[in-house]
């Protein structure tokens, strides 16, 4: 179980499987990487050198107080990739991981990347008068900015999000198992991340991304991302391809792993 210690002393858990060009995976909020990617890692490692990492405060990584901004996570990722001399990488992020990937593109040196992947994320989480693809289809600014405070008061409000992430009703035993994994990330860390992750607006930044990019979205029952935000993004990026899969919703990587793995492997092989 390898760890990399950041310059400020925080240990990051990571794992590497397979051989070939690097594929760096960033999972959604709260879940440890080893659990989150369990239905994908072997299939992806058959074609790539897959690197999965728990960002600060989450999963099996160190649990510091303080800075849990998206920008800090992107800076940690840059330090990690540099220290391990990971080059020519495909950086692929789901939901919160996708937000971190975009922040990395915006603020860090992208010369170590050959391609980008974004899955089940919106470039603007909150609603706005000119925006038709916020999370949940409607996420008023006041609600978004106070969501972290709600989590601090009662973390169980995230149970509803977990249920909404699946196209079909989730088995109670699986729900309990997932909550056990989620609670490895402290409540204050989750809330602090939410406080910051709802604020950025990447819509105007998207056209500046020239790296080959794959956009993967679940088009089954998906109340978290109900609209075709992936298509909206693809229309505004010069080098992006859209993959829409009908076998699941927000957790398409879990609900239809065969189709998800095939799509990501196909993209990783050709870039």
Instruction: Split the chain (271 residues) into runs of 10 and give each run's mean pLDDT.
Output: 94 98 97 98 98 98 95 98 98 98 98 98 96 97 97 95 94 95 96 96 98 98 97 98 98 98 98 97
Residue ranges of domains in the chain:
3-270
Residue 45: per-residue pLDDT? 98
Q: Which of 89, 105, 119 is nearest to 214 (CA)?
A: 119
Residue 1: per-residue pLDDT? 65
Architecture of domain 3-270: 3-Layer(aba) Sandwich (3.40)
* DSSP symbols for 36-99: HTTTTHHHHHTTSEEEEEPPTTSTTS---SS---HHHHHHHHHHHHHHTT--SEEEEEETHHHH
């Amino acid at each position: 179980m390898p760890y990399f210690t950041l310059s400020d002393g925080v240990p990051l858990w990571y794992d590497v499987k397979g051989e070939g060009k690097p594929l760096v995976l960033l999972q959604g909020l709260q879940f440890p990487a080893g659990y989150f990617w369990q239905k994908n890692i072997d299939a992806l490692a058959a074609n790539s050198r897959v690197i999965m990492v728990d960002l600060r405060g989450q999963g099996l990584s160190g649990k510091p107080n303080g800075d849990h901004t998206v920008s800090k996570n992107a800076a940690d990722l840059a330090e990690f990739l540099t220290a391990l001399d990971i080059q020519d990488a495909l950086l692929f992020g789901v939901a919160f991981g996708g937000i971190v990937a975009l922040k990395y593109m915006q603020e860090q040196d992208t010369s170590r990347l050959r391609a980008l992947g974004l899955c089940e994320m919106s470039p603007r989480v909150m609603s706005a008068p000119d925006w038709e693809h916020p999370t949940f289809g409607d996420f008023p600014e006041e609600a978004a900015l106070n969501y972290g405070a709600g989590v601090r008061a009662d973390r169980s409000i995230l149970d509803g999000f977990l249920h909404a992430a699946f196209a079909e009703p989730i088995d109670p035993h699986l729900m309990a198992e997932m909550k056990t994994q989620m609670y490895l990330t402290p409540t204050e860390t989750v809330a602090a991340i939410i406080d910051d992750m709802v604020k950025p607006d990447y819509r105007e930044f998207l056209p500046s991304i020239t790296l080959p990019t794959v956009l993967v979205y679940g088009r089954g029952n998906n109340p978290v991302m109900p609209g075709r935000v992936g298509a909206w993004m693809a229309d505004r990026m010069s080098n992006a391809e859209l993959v829409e899969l009908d076998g699941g919703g927000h957790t398409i990587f879990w609900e239809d792993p065969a189709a998800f793995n095939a799509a990501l492997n196909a993209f990783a092989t050709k870039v």
